């Protein structure tokens, strides 16, 4: 599997730092990772099953051409975002999907 994780991580660091500078990062959040199929051979169901088994909540937007994998509420840090992005990407690549960004919904400290 030939994927440029170094570039993905560099992009993640840049985006995280920009968001932190412009808006601030919440203490806790659910993080959404978007995944897009690499072609007709992408196995939507198998990818969804693998991500669900790994503990992510998966939403399929097949007609729009992507799916999301969402974490449970987590303490937010660059390391947390990257750890889950790498895990989601490694799983998704096995089923013909590639990462297409991430976002999050901040949560109150007690969630």
Pairing of strands 28-37, 97-107: antiparallel
Domain that holds residue 59: 36-111
pLDDT tens across 67-88, in order? Answer: 999 999 999 999 999 999 999 9
Task: With respect to residue 11, please indicate whether it lies within any of the assigned structural domains.
Answer: no
Q: Is the pLDDT of residue 98 over 80?
A: yes
Task: With respect to residue 27, please indicate whether it lies within any of the assigned structural domains.
Answer: no
Helices (H), the chain: 5-22, 44-53, 78-93
Determine the distance from the C-alpha atom of residue 85 to the mean position of all C-alpha atoms in its chain, rounded to a whole number: 5
Task: With respect to residue 69, please indicate whether it lies within any of the assigned structural domains.
Answer: yes
Q: What is the mean pLDDT of residues 37-57?
A: 96
Task: With respect to residue 25, please indicate whether it lies within any of the assigned structural domains.
Answer: no
Confidence (pLDDT) at 34: 98
Nearest by Cα to 33 from 111, 104, 91, 105: 104
Count of the separate structural domains present in the chain:
1
pLDDT tens across 19-44, in order? Answer: 999 999 999 999 999 999 999 999 99
Dihedral sign (CA 91, 94, 16, 62): negative
Q: Which residues pair with 22 in a beta bridge?
A: none
Confidence (pLDDT) at 109: 65
pTM above 0.75, yes or no: yes
Task: With respect to residue 10, please indicate whether it lies within any of the assigned structural domains.
Answer: no
Task: With respect to residue 7, please indicate whether it lies within any of the assigned structural domains.
Answer: no
Concatenated DSSP letters for 93-105?
Answer: HTTTEEEEEEEEE
Share of the chain above pLDDT 90, in %: 89
Confidence (pLDDT) at 111: 46
């Amino acid at each position: 599997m030939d994927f440029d994780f170094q570039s993905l991580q560099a992009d993640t660091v840049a985006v995280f730092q920009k968001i932190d500078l412009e808006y601030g990062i919440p203490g806790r959040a659910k993080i959404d990772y978007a995944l897009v199929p690499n072609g007709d051979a992408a196995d939507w169901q198998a990818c969804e099953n693998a991500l669900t088994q790994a503990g992510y909540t998966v939403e399929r937007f097949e007609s729009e051409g992507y799916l999301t994998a969402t974490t449970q509420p987590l303490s937010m840090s660059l390391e947390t975002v990257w750890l889950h992005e790498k895990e989601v990407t490694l799983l998704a690549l096995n089923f013909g999907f590639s990462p297409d960004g991430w976002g999050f919904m901040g949560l109150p400290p007690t969630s």
